[in-house]
Amino acid sequence: MLGRTFTVTAAVLAVVLGVPSASQAVPAPGSAGVGDVYYPEYGNGGYDVAHYDIRLRYHPDTDRLTGTTTILASATQDLSRFNLDFALATESVRVNNRTATFARQSDHELVVTPARTIAKGAPLTIVVEYDDIPSNVVAAGFTSWNRTPDGALAVNEPEIAWWWYPSNDHPTDKATFDVSVLVPDGVEAISNGTPTRWATPAFDGWSRWSWRQDKPQATYLTFLAIGDFDTYQDTSADGSPIVTAYNTRLDETTAAAAKSSVERSDEITDWLAGLFGPYPFGARGGVVTGAGDQGFALETQTRPVYDGRSFSRGSNNSLIVHELAHQWFGDSVSVGQWKDIWLNEGFASYAQWLWSEDQGEGTAEEIADYVYGTLYPADDPFWQVLPGDPGPGDLFDGAVYDRGALTLHHLRKLVGDEDFSAILRAWTDSRRYDAGTTPEFQALAERISGVDLDAFLQTWLYTPGRPDLGVSTLAVP
Ligand code: ARG
Ligand code: ZN
């Protein structure tokens, strides 16, 4: 679903008023991308997805994934054909009950030509059948589908969806999801949201796991963790389901350390809600993979996925805070362009500093001083990466996180605690389930604080070198 409201166009008015339209639009192909400056071919034009129904069968022994994904969408233009972001071997595509033709445009892009053109505003039901070994599939030069000793992980950013379901793969087109997976008995299949079938016998030797996400969700934040997990179910004070899962390959001490942190997710979510406003989703939890299985954590919506190795030296509550802060910054309010990634990582990192202060450990000010003055000396290459424009190859550079968090800390000092808090809450409130860009964030922060932030943000986000605190934090009246 696109976050914007539709405007009544002249053409629509002409139809309503019975006036012949001046220019009858000729159906045209939907564009191959949504206009992301870093990834021009990610996402697709011409339609808006409302819901994905993903039904899969997966066998860990062979990594064979067979699936049918049904996409409910609507055309945003008169459409002659459109693209899907998808990399697996496709068997058939149907559009609005008729067999459609399809062809590969690239290793991650499918062109679908419906039997009939689709009128702007008309519903679009797309059914895609597929069968492949995802770990064999290289797309855009790599594979993100991660086969593990006991299953597989579909967890990555930004590229993961096209290894397991066809989509309009950009955070600006969110949708609700049903994910339903058949796996051999005894294997767990975990995803986002609320479990609607839990290890439900389907036929001899196979069980079904079904998950529902009823709040808008970006494609890359939709995950699948299949394997041998110890799982726990609980209910939050607000009545929403909590599901936590730990891979059984974790050694006992690591599993205990992971549990001591992940089992605090419900409490930490409530603490974050106190800072940022109401928790935007209806389910909670976390999933811990085998140590080293994926090498990073990801803020998959409602239920982040952590690498077991993150707990190899003990509890890591700060990481839980980071991934759960993303539920507001990244998941509910997503990046409008991948270039805006600091809006995700800077906020999630700053939340860790606030947590540290709350816990009576270092204050945000102490951490900011340390990061600025000691961790990264002025001549450190760290200061050459621009958080506001890191480049597609450096989306997750340390500067996006730490300089992003410093930017927020100094913004806070510039506008004062009260306005800073009002800015965070207004951002999460006004763009809930939507997306935003850095210029939009600047406009909101300026409106609330009354401070011109041009020079400040230019220095902190877009200028190489360590900002001079005395100059860069000066308010320009
Ligand atoms: N957004 C993730 C985080 O919270 C980082 C993902 C990094 N992705 C990757 N493929 N290494 O930090
Ligand atoms: Zn992050």
Percent of the chain surpassing pLDDT 70: 94
What is the per-residue pLDDT across 49-107, written as a single tens digit (0 to 9) for each? Answer: 999 999 999 999 999 999 999 999 999 999 999 999 999 999 999 999 999 999 999 99
Name the strands in the sheet holding 224-227, side by side, starting at the edge strand that comes first in the sequence.
Answer: 146-148, 151-154, 224-227, 188-190
Residues 6+ apart with CB under 8 A from 259: 244, 246
φ and ψ of 384, to 5 deg: -90, -20
Inform me whether the pLDDT recorded for 281 exceeds 50.
yes
What is the per-residue pLDDT across 391-402, written as a single tens digit (0 to 9) for each? Answer: 999 999 999 999
Residues 6+ apart with CB under 8 A from 198: 209, 233
pLDDT confidence of 2, banded at 50, 70, 90? low
pLDDT of 24 reads 61
**Which ligand approaches the C-alpha of residue 352 most closely?**
2
Inform me whether the pLDDT recorded for 6 exceeds 90.
no
pLDDT of 25 reads 75
Average pLDDT score over the chain: 95
Inform me whether the pLDDT recorded for 171 exceeds 80.
yes
Mutation test of ligand 1: which of 143, 146, 155, 157 has the most ligand atoms closer than 8 Å to its C-beta? 157
Inform me whether the pLDDT recorded for 13 exceeds 90.
no
What is the per-residue pLDDT across 194-235, written as a single tens digit (0 to 9) for each? Answer: 999 999 999 999 999 999 999 999 999 999 999 999 999 999
Max CA distance (Å), the chain: 73
pLDDT of 333 reads 98
157 lines ligand 1 (CB under 6 A): yes
Inform me whether the pLDDT recorded for 380 exceeds 90.
yes
- Amino acid identity for residue 293 in this structure: D
Inform me whether the pLDDT recorded for 140 exceeds 70.
yes
Q: In this structure, which residue's CA is closest to atom 2 in ligand 1?
A: 298
pLDDT of 20 reads 42
Mutation test of ligand 1: which of 221, 289, 298 has the most ligand atoms closer than 8 Å to its C-beta? 298
pLDDT of 9 reads 44
The more confident residue out of 316 and 10 is: 316
Distance 31 CA to ligand 1 centre (A): 28
pLDDT confidence of 10, banded at 50, 70, 90? very low
